[in-house]
Amino acid sequence: MSSLLEPYITGSVDGCPPWGIEYVVDALNAYILVILLFLALICVMYSKRSIEHELPQKIVPFYTLFQLLVTGLCGVTVTGDIFNMYVFVEIFSLSAYALIASRGGIALKAGFTYLVLGSIGACFFLLGIGFLYSVTGTLNMHDLSLLLPPLYGNRVVQAAFGFFTVGLSIKMALFPLHTWLPDTHSFAPSEISAMLSGIIIEVSTYAFIRVCFSVYTLN
């Protein structure tokens, strides 16, 4: 795992923190990105006839939100900034909430449940980021990986990891925080149900792997 994460661990040129938001592509997230885009392409190709049948009045909004969903997922995959990761997590989450609820009826309830639990997860994630920033003064993953090891005994740093774990566990639908998942699979449009299974949960899992191995460097 450490070799896959080397671009994050080796860091900035001459040890200087980067200006602005950094994006990093390495062996792991390049693989995730290719799989993500391939599955999204398959889903959108399949959706042409299905959406014309399921959502005939919402074709344009559906594809607009679908593109926003894919954009958020790609952003989570390649960002090297932990706050930027949170922003992209919220982008794909908000798109997913709307897409799930787009069928109306009982799908609205499923989308609302996902919205409430997903927002709770996002709040935990954001609290973790705030705790790390209060201790280190940086949001760049590489800089965090350098600054945190001497601070692993700090209770604020430990609490931040707990917040990350709970927040992303909700996004990953990890038991017992998975209660939003059955209804969303059952009542979402078929393409979005496939995205949930094949992409959305996996990208959330990838985000947790990044936190563990690129920020806390628990390898």
Of 31-40, 84-93, 210-219, the poorest mean pLDDT is in 210-219
Query: Structure pTM?
Result: 0.80
Is 176 or 1 the better-scoring residue by pLDDT? Answer: 176
For the stretch 125-166, pLDDT in tens is 999 999 988 888 888 888 888 888 888 888 888 899 899 999
What was the pLDDT predicted at 45? 80
Provide mean pLDDT across the span 169-198. 77
Q: Annotate the chain with three-state secondary structure.
A: CCCCCHHHHHCCHHHCCCCCCCECCCHHHHHHHHHHHHHHHHHHHHHHHHHHHHCCCCHHHHHHHHHHHHHHHHHHHHECEHHHHHHHHHHHHHHHHHHHHCCCCHHHHHHHHHHHHHHHHHHHHHHHHHHHHHHHCCCEHHHHHHHCHHHCCCHHHHHHHHHHHHHHHHHHCCCCCCCCHHHHHHHCCHHHHHHHHHHHHHHHHHHHHHHHHHHCCCC
Predicted pLDDT at 26: 81
Q: pLDDT-derived band of residue 194, with 50, 70 and 90 as boundaries?
A: confident
Say whether pLDDT at 4 is over 60.
Answer: no
What pLDDT is recorded for position 124?
A: 92
The pLDDT score that the predictor gives to residue 15 is: 52
pLDDT digits (tens, 9 = 90+) for 53-64: 666 677 788 888
Q: What is the pLDDT of residue 173?
A: 76
Mean pLDDT of the chain: 80
- What is the dihedral sign for C-alpha 64, 65, 70, 75? positive
- Model confidence over 26-38: pLDDT tens digits? 888 888 888 888 8
More confident residue, 82 or 56: 82
Is the confidence at residue 10, as pLDDT, over 50? Answer: no
